[in-house]
Structure formats: C-alpha cells, structure tokens
Amino acid sequence: VAPGASDRVRVLDPGGGVAGCVRAASSGAPVAPFTVMVWERSGPLRRVLQRSLSVLDPSGCYAVEDLAAGPAAVVVSAPGFAPSAEIPVEVPPPPARARADAELEAGGRLLGAVRDEASGAPLPGARVSVEGALEAAASTFPVLAEATAGPDGRFALDGLPRRFSIQVAAAGHHARVLGGLEVGPGETRGPVQIAPRPGAEGEAPPLCPGGGGPGLAPPGQGPGGGPVRPRGGAAAGGRRRRRPRP
C-alpha cells in the first residue's frame, strides 16, 4: 500500500468462539457473576491473553466470540471461588464454537496481619494480593484475591486456590513475596504475620522474596501454624547459595 493511500479496504476473517457454563463443584448450582479468560496457547508454557469477559447471567453460561482459531486455554474466576484450572480447547473456525464448561471449588481463606519488621507497628493500607498471570485480565470484579490491611494491620484474603503465593506492598517498605502457601477448598488458615522491612529515606524499596524465612510468625511456620512448603526456586532445584569470594 502506497504511503497516504486511502482507497484500500482490509477485510478481516470472522473469529471463532468458545462457549460453556460455570457450576459450583459442591452443588452443581450455576455460578454468577464470573470472569472468563481465553488465552492463546503459543507453546507449552507461553500464554497470550486474547479476551476476557465479565458475565452476570444467572444461568452461569457464557459465549466469547472473535477469537483466533487454534489452540487456546480457558480460565474462569469468580468471587468467593478458587480460579479454575486451565481448560484446553481448540478454537474452530466460525460459526462453530469450542465447548469449555468449568466447575469451581470454594476458595480458601487466609487471615493475617502486616507489621513493620523493625518496630512491630501495624501497617494500615498495606496491599496484600495473590500473584498470578490473571492480573492481565480486564474485569468488572477482581480475578485474583486481594485485600487492604485495616487500621490494626489485619487482612483477610478470600477465594484462594489450593496453592498460591502472595505479594505484600506497604508504603516506605520493601515489598515481600511469600510462596508455597496452601489452603484447602473452603478452609480458613492463619493468622500469619508478615513483616516488611522499612526502606531507607529516599530509597526505592526493592522486592524481597519471603518464602519460609523471616516475616511469617511464628518463625518457621505457615498458615494455621503448619509448616510452609515452598515450591520451586533454588531450594527445589537442589542448588546452594555460593558465598562470594574474598
């Protein structure tokens, strides 16, 4: 097309679609509201978000259109429920639709408090959120559990999956990531205490990994007083931290 040309029309092929219904695993009742996310599967681990749709229909059913034909993965998230596992689908050319029904388990709950590591004072307004790729989705309601610490530093996270990691951010403090946390469907764990380290004046606080190290109380324990079982990272790979040479 020559620069400045305006007499050209590009015709786009119609997209494919995915449809399904969302039910509660415990009762089979329809779930609403919820968010459905369709990811393009461009490799074993690579996922690119194609579309996300917020659904209010009390029937619990949905249809997502205008999708690229080919391999895709569907994930459903609803308030109070754990996000679904990936549902692999093959999006067909229109007018056919792939089918992706989902059964959601009741989400777990984590109670805790955020306190300054140096003074032990509560950190009201600290943001506690579950980590995950679902943050990229546009939705009318949160697709990942998140909470804000109250005046006493306490928080409650609902709708948690069986295994999860959380990130804690508080003004003037180093952010913390705590991994390897576990809670069963409908269970409540905690309280846990998370203690971000205060940053120096004028310092841009970096992200500090937590895991089973300092920041959980009692020391060496996780939600509900049980051991934190970290997954992945250097510990899982059998790698040891090397000391710097003098």
Which tens digit of pLDDT belongs to each residue from 16-43?
999 999 999 999 999 999 999 999 988 7
Closest residue by Cα to residue 171 from 203, 207, 125: 125
Instruction: Please say if the pLDDT value at position 71 is more than 80.
Output: yes
DSSP output for 156-176: EEEEE-SEEEEEEE-TTB-EE
pTM exceeding 0.75: no
Residue burial 206-220, b: 16+ Cβ < 10 Å; e: rest: eebebbbeebbeeee
More confident residue, 138 or 148: 148
In this structure, of 47-61, 99-113, 117-131, 209-223, the range with the lowest mean pLDDT score is 209-223
Q: How many CB atoms lie within 10 A of CB 231?
A: 13
Write the CB contacts of 57 (distance below 8 Å, at least 6 apart in sequence): 32
Find the Cα–Cα–Cα–Cα dihedral 173, 175, 179, 181, rounded to 10°.
Answer: 60
pLDDT digits over 77-99, tens only?
Answer: 998 899 998 999 999 998 899 99
> Residue 166 and residue 223: Cα distance in Å, rounded?
12
**Helix, strand, or coil (residue 136):** helix
Higher pLDDT, 209 or 175: 175
Q: Please state the rounded mean pLDDT for residues 66-85.
A: 92
